[in-house]
Amino acid sequence: MPPSSLFPAPLPCPDATALAPRPLSTPHWAEGGGIEVLPRIFEDAITLAVMRRPVGSDLLAGALAQAEAGRPLSFNWRGAPGVELRTALFETLAAPAASVALVEDVVILAEAMAFLFDTDTVGLRLRLLDAPMCPRFHCDNLPVRMVTTYLGPGSEWLPEAAVNRAGLGAPNAAKPEIVRDDGAIRRLESGDVALLKGSGWIGNESHGLVHRSPALAEGQPRLLLTIDPG
């Protein structure tokens, strides 16, 4: 699928804005069932844009094939999405015949990320996890990241009203708890495609989305894809 079929045109990064605290009651996330929700990440007030989608049977079969292969999977790629990425995925993944839909989905999302942020290259990681990678709530020190979970629970995140940012950073007994309200913790679903705005986004230095890896039950695998522009 050509990237031009996903978005009408690449959008420029916004100019720097004031770092004054935002009203806690203002929604800073956007959700929808179509690809058109993702460009909302360019709105100043939005730090999370989520395209809700189910994991189809072919996609799930490819994800399960990786989990059932009994071998580690940590695929890292930086370059132009396209034929070389597709070839590298087929060479790396277990059960290539069962993984066609998975490979195509990864390539399409990489192309979409490159198109949306007007870049020739992306940094991509596809990992099979058996433990939380980042179990502590944090915000990424980068402009933006695309995240999707093919198998297992999705990433957890906090609305701004539930965050005490004084608690962020390296753990310290003197720091307050990060989470003001445990009941406010939200979770992405398997299949969701999310753009998470970090503190490296110009004008968003104090407002990066606070999120963490989900806890995993013993023996529960998680297949996670992350994509960074550039």
**pTM score over 0.75:** yes
Residue with tokens 């110009």: 202
Q: Tens digit of pLDDT for each residue in 199-209?
A: 999 999 999 99
Distance CA 111, CA 65 (A): 24
Listed residue (222, 214, 225, 226) closest to 64, CA to CA: 222
What would the pLDDT profile of 35-66 be if each residue is shown by its tens digit? 999 999 999 999 999 999 999 999 999 999 99
SS3 percent helix, strand, coil of the chain, rounded to 5, is: 25, 25, 50
Please, are residues 106 and 1 in contact by the beta-carbon 8 Å criterion? no
Q: pLDDT (tens digit, 9 = 90+) per residue, 125-170?
A: 999 999 878 899 999 999 999 999 999 999 999 999 999 999 898 8
Residue spans of the domains in the chain: they are: 29-159+189-229
pLDDT at 172: 86
Domain 29-159+189-229 in this protein, CATH class: mainly beta
215 φ/ψ angles, rounded to the nearest 5 degrees? -70, 145
Confidence of residue 26 (pLDDT cuts 50, 70, 90): low
| Upper half-sphere CA count for residue 109 (Cβ side, 13 Å) | 27
CA 97 to chain centre: 26
